[in-house]
A and B are shown apart, each in its own frame.
Chain A
Amino acid sequence: KAGVTQTPRYLIKTRGQQVTLSCSPISGHRSVSWYQQTPGQGLQFLFEYFSETQRNKGNFPGRFSGRQFSNSRSEMNVSTLELGDSALYLCASSRLTPDNSPLHFGNGTRLTVT
């Protein structure tokens, strides 16, 4: 069974630009969660989707948005990039909701904002 796939693996953008990250979950998994990981803040929850509906959202500004498609694939978008958005963005899928079943993580997208 293929694991969680995130694309692209690395991304370099400049301030003010926008970026779209993609995540393909494990087949059959209906929940997709996104996390931002930085050395200073650790793993911060961005949002979670379940069957195309945003079930939960973390404390991030409106510049961060996401969506889930009918095939469970998910995208997240960050507009008007800031230097502080440089981070490893991790996507994880689970068969049920994350609080009840293990998360399966992709290897992340490393975003650098210059």
Chain B
Amino acid sequence: SQQGEEDPQALSIQEGENATMNCSYKTSINNLQWYRQNSGRGLVHLILIRSNEREKHSGRLRVTLDTSKKSSSLLITASRAADTASYFCATDSIIQGAQKLVFGQGTRLTINP
């Protein structure tokens, strides 16, 4: 099963509104990353937040990390049509004795004009 699980699976909002996506994970992590994927293309790295950080910003993106709840959230403020994409969280975890980067199932975000 996936280490990270995003919630909701799909989100549809109006342009200009804020979008919040959540990620929960199961085991201890060193860091958590968020990626965006436009349809049929590769993933684009958005933010990496380390386990000793609680919040990180990048432009209109704000990521929080709560290691006690094993959860993270990605907030996109003042959404634009170009933000329509799938968003994935990825966590490093020890699986079968090896450290791997594991992706969640993603949240599909649709911004309506």
Contacts and interface: CB of A to CB of B under 8 A. Distances in A.
Contact of A90 (B30, B33, B43, B90): B43
Interface stretch (A12-20, A42-50, A62-70, A71-79): A42-50
B50 to A, nearest CB: 10
B88 A99 contact: no
Contacts of A88: 40
Contacts of A98: 92, 100-101
Contact of A42 (B42, B48, B103): B103
B44 to A, nearest CB: 7
A28 interface: no
Counting contact residues on chain B (CB < 8 A from A), the size range is 20 to 34
Nearest to A43: B103
Contact of B101 (A4, A57, A99, A104): A99
Nearest to B42: A105
A108 interface: yes
Contact of A92 (B43, B98, B104): B43
Contact of A102 (B30, B45, B88, B92): B45
B88 A43 contact: yes
Contacts of B104: 42
Interface string B12-45: 0000000000000000001101010000111111
Interface of B: 2, 30-31, 33, 35, 40-45, 48, 88, 90, 92, 98-106
30 contacts: A4-B42, A33-B101, A42-B103, A42-B106, A43-B88, A43-B106, A45-B103, A55-B98, A56-B100, A58-B100, A88-B40, A90-B43, A92-B42, A92-B43, A97-B99, A98-B101, A99-B31, A100-B92, A101-B48, A102-B33, A102-B48, A103-B35, A103-B43, A103-B90, A103-B101, A105-B35, A107-B40, A107-B42, A108-B40, A108-B42
Given A58-B100, A107-B41, A108-B41, 16 more contacts: A4-B42, A42-B104, A42-B105, A43-B103, A43-B106, A99-B30, A99-B101, A100-B30, A102-B45, A103-B43, A103-B45, A103-B90, A104-B45, A105-B35, A105-B43, A105-B44
